[in-house]
């Protein structure tokens, strides 16, 4: 029996495993980097062990340090979570060699399936070797990868070498293994997967299907179970293939077999020898705790001969600290508040007041809704996300709500090209036009000790706010009867709640301010000074860092005086384990270049200037 378990991971998945351990009466051990010293997963664990350093290569990818931490803390088992070393056979062997229980498949099974090139050979498939024009488009993938890292779509043969180099660098940074391979890229297919659970007694459960077609940068955004619209024959086919893959490597524990479904056919992609990020939708539908099942299997307990019956439908949305309208750029800063309405499962590694840093994945949380039907589950999740209080950096919340309500998704006609087709419409700013007024009135009430009452009419007061990239000026007046604003009747106003009557309809605005940052319902505003500071202005054509990160590369031959075209890549930033391309904003001449490889930059840092011709 496992008594103390160390999770060789961080953030949301570590918190998720610890939650089940508490229910099972198992003590918990967290490992943490210096950047995570005050992270939630450290705070909720019974014991914590520091891994000196901040980068994944120095900390969460150091299997030797993690095994030492397990032994030193008295742990008798290790759970790998997902990502980092979760599919590293060498790490699994080191855990077992140290006399610890490994909560996962055998090292041989991981070795057979964790390398996507080996997995394809095992399933009778081969990666491309000599790529020609006839093979395009192709997909470059990290052999040891996951989560979309180390993946690149190549549509032009001239781009292949550069994309291979970028994929290798990203894979080495994220997984400690820079091996990549190339395969045909099937466009507009559906990403369908099968959850399996196997014990040490020969029983394998295929736990239904999941659809994970809504993806950005090959990372899943919305997932659901079961996968809608599949024929009974196709469901049986992918389930049988998943069981076949598991039996081929004597698989034990939880795993996922992934397919690309196109033209009514299922194409094998890979087998993930670990728990998936999207496992909660399967848990909801089957009424299982997959982490608890992993632990029981690791303790040698047998599964029942048949799995439980599936009930209802579940949908999960990943909430990221990122700006989808700005090339999905990750965001950092203080997460002041994260609150979801009741009835929605929220798996997260953050609480109010935590800081979102630059070193790791920008996922804040996973929100999951379960209901008798798909329509009800989608409606519940979209509504909950819309009403959630998420105060802090920019997130993809609005994108999630619009995605869930998009007719292609509600009709189950989505595919992996969904965001390629619809991103501009899904990210079109639709700020609430009355949010600036509500913010100004709440600010006026919050600053006034006597409610703003005056015996004589006052001059109009003005406030300026930045909202959705534009400046807005609002005017209001203190009168004997309270606050007034042109065209809008102020029903109520205090520091946190404003009620306005617009065209005979009363609307409520919840207002929360954190310094100059103001949240009005789910609209974010920035209070602006009355007169702008001229020293903060930048020349036209300036390229500013959209995120904190490290300059990892400058385009070959790029120097001051170089002619560039709009959209040309100029340099690359690495942030949150992904590389982000910075392109020329206009066609013209590079007149300044401030970025050099290895340089750490903050958001808004001036990287380069292109003078338009």
CATH assignment of the domain containing 494? 3.30.700.40
Whole-angstrom distance, CA of residue 257 vs CA of residue 266: 11
Give the residue with greater pLDDT, 604 vs 6. 6
Residue 584 lies in a domain: yes
Q: How confident is the model at residue 538 (pLDDT cuts 50, 70, 90)?
A: low
Do 383 and 341 share a structural domain?
A: yes
Model pLDDT, residue 181? 85
Do 569 and 495 share a structural domain?
A: no
Do 212 and 66 share a structural domain?
A: no
**How much is the average pLDDT of 372-381?**
98
**Per-residue b or e along 481-514, where b marks 16 or more CB atoms closer than 10 Å to that residue's CB:** ebbbbeebebebbebeebbbeeeeeeeebebbbe
Residue 111 lies in a domain: no
Task: Express each pLDDT in 344-363 by its tens digit.
Answer: 999 999 999 999 988 898 99
Do 228 and 340 share a structural domain?
A: yes
Contact predicate 326/288, CB 8 Å:
no
Task: Express each pLDDT in 306-337 by its tens digit.
Answer: 999 999 999 999 999 999 998 898 999 999 99
Whether pLDDT at 452 is above 60: no
Quick one: which H or E segment has residue 612? strand 606-612
**How much is the average pLDDT of 417-424?**
95
Whole-angstrom distance, CA of residue 140 vs CA of residue 173: 16
Whole-angstrom distance, CA of residue 516 vs CA of residue 341: 26
Whole-angstrom distance, CA of residue 151 vs CA of residue 174: 12
Do 260 and 166 share a structural domain?
A: no
Do 499 and 453 share a structural domain?
A: yes
Give the residue with greater pLDDT, 545 vs 351. 351
> Which residues touch 451 (CB under 8 Å, ≥6 apart)?
445, 482
Q: Which of 295-304, 500-509, 542-551, 582-591 has the lowest mean pLDDT?
A: 542-551
Residue 143 lies in a domain: yes
Do 310 and 284 share a structural domain?
A: yes
**How much is the average pLDDT of 160-173?**
88
Whether pLDDT at 448 is above 80: no
pTM of the predicted structure, to 2 decimals: 0.84
Question: CATH number, domain at 551?
Answer: 2.40.50.100
Contact predicate 223/211, CB 8 Å:
yes
**How much is the average pLDDT of 224-239?**
97
Do 395 and 297 share a structural domain?
A: yes
Model pLDDT, residue 146? 64
Strand 101-102 relative to strand 77-79, pairing: parallel
Whether pLDDT at 376 is above 90: yes
Do 179 and 204 share a structural domain?
A: no
> Residue 421 is encoded by which pair of tokens?
């087709």
Residue 109 lies in a domain: no
Catalytic residues: 274
pLDDT, averaged across the chain: 91
Give the residue with greater pLDDT, 543 vs 237. 237
Task: Express each pLDDT in 569-610 by its tens digit.
Answer: 999 888 766 778 889 988 999 999 998 898 888 877 889 999
Model pLDDT, residue 451? 47
Residue 454 lies in a domain: yes
Choose one of 129, 159, 184: the last residue of a domain: 184
Residue 110 lies in a domain: no
Choose one of 184, 202, 230: the last residue of a domain: 184
Do 297 and 199 share a structural domain?
A: yes
| Count of structural domains, the chain | 5
> Which residues touch 159 (CB under 8 Å, ≥6 apart)?
none
Range of the domain at 39: 4-103
Whether pLDDT at 429 is above 50: yes
Model pLDDT, residue 532? 56
**Per-residue b or e along 145-171, where b marks 16 or more CB atoms closer than 10 Å to that residue's CB:** bbbbbbbbbbeeeeebeebbebbbbbb
Choose one of 143, 168, 184: the last residue of a domain: 184
Q: What percent of the chain has pLDDT over 90?
A: 70
Do 39 and 123 share a structural domain?
A: no
**How much is the average pLDDT of 440-455?**
69
Whole-angstrom distance, CA of residue 76 vs CA of residue 80: 14
Model pLDDT, residue 450? 46
Whether pLDDT at 535 is above 80: no
Q: Which of 138-147, 384-393, 451-460 has the lowest mean pLDDT?
A: 451-460
Question: CATH number, domain at 18?
Answer: 3.40.50.20
Edge to edge, what strands does the sheet with 542-544 contain?
Answer: 542-544, 606-612, 588-593, 563-564
Residue 16 lies in a domain: yes
Whole-angstrom distance, CA of residue 258 vs CA of residue 250: 18
Contact predicate 95/102, CB 8 Å:
yes
| Phi, psi dihedrals of residue 87, rounded to the nearest 5° | -120, 35
> Which residues touch 310 (CB under 8 Å, ≥6 apart)?
208, 225, 226, 285, 286
Do 120 and 98 share a structural domain?
A: no
Look at residues 117, 126, 61 and name the one whose alpha carbon lies nearest to residue 94: 61
Residue 28 lies in a domain: yes
Other beta carbons within 10 angstroms of residue 293's beta carbon come to 20
Look at residues 372, 362, 331, 366 and name the one whose alpha carbon lies nearest to residue 347: 366
């Amino acid at each position: 029996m496992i008594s103390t378990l160390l999770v060789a991971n961080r953030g949301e998945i570590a918190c998720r495993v610890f939650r089940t351990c508490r229910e099972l009466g198992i003590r918990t051990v967290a490992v943490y980097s210096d950047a995570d010293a005050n992270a939630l997963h450290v705070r909720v664990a019974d014991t914590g062990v520091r891994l000196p350093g901040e980068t994944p290569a120095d900390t969460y990818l150091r299997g030797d340090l993690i095994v030492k931490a397990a032994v030193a803390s008295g742990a008798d088992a290790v759970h790998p979570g997902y990502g980092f070393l979760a599919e590293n056979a060498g790490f699994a062997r080191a855990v077992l060699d140290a006399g610890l229980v490994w909560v996962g498949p055998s090292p041989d099974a991981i070795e057979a399936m964790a390398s996507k090139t080996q997995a394809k050979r095992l399933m009778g498939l081969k990666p491309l070797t000599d790529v020609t024009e006839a093979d395009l488009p192709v997909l470059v993938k990290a052999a040891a990868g996951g989560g979309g890292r180390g993946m690149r779509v190549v549509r032009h043969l001239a781009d292949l070498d550069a994309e291979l180099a970028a994929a290798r660098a990203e894979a080495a940074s994220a997984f400690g293994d820079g091996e990549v391979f190339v395969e045909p890229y099937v466009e507009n297919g559906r990403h369908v997967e099968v959850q399996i659970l196997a014990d040490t007694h020969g029983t394998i459960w295929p736990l239904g299907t999941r659809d994970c077609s809504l993806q950005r940068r090959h990372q899943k955004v919305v997932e659901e179970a079961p996968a809608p619209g599949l024929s009974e024959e196709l469901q049986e086919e992918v389930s049988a293939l998943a069981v076949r893959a598991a039996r081929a490597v004597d698989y034990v524990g939880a795993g996922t077999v992934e397919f690309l479904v196109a033209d009514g056919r299922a194409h094998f992609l890979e087998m993930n020898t670990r728990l998936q990020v999207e496992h909660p939708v399967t848990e909801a539908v089957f009424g299982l705790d997959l982490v608890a099942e992993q632990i029981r299997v690791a303790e040698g307990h047998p599964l029942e001969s048949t799995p439980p019956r599936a009930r209802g439908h579940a949908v999960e949305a990943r909430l990221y600290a990122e700006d989808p309208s700005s090339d999905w750029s990750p965001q950092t800063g203080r997460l002041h508040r994260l609150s979801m309405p009741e009835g929605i499962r929220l798996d997260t590694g953050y609480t109010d007041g935590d800081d979102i840093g630059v070193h790791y994945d920008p996922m804040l949380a996973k929100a999951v809704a379960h209901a008798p039907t798909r329509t009800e589950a989608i409606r519940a999740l979209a509504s909950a996300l819309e009403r959630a209080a998420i105060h802090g950096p920019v997130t993809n919340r609005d994108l999630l709500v619009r995605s869930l309500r998009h007719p292609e998704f509600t009709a189950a006609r989505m595919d992996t090209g969904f965001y390629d087709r619809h991103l501009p419409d899904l990210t079109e700013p639709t700020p609430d036009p009355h949010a600036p007024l509500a913010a100004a009135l709440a600010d006026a009430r919050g600053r006034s000790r006597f409610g703003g009452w005056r015996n004589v009419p006052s001059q109009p007061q003005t406030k300026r706010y930045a909202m959705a990239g534009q400046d807005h000026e609002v005017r209001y007046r203190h009168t004997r009867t309270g606050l007034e604003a042109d065209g809008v009747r102020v029903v109520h106003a205090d520091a946190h709640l404003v009620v306005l009557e617009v065209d005979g309809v009363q609307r409520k605005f919840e207002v929360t301010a954190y310094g100059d940052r103001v949240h009005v319902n789910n609209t974010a505003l920035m209070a602006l000074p009355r007169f702008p500071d001229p020293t903060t202005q930048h020349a036209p054509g300036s390229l500013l860092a959209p995120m904190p990160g490290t300059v990892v590369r400058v385009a070959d031959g790029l120097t001051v005086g170089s002619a560039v075209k709009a959209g040309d890549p100029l340099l690359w930033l690495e942030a949150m384990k992904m590389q982000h391309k910075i392109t020329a904003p206009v066609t013209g001449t590079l007149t300044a270049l401030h970025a050099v490889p290895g340089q750490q930059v903050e958001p808004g840092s001036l990287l380069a200037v292109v003078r338009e011709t």
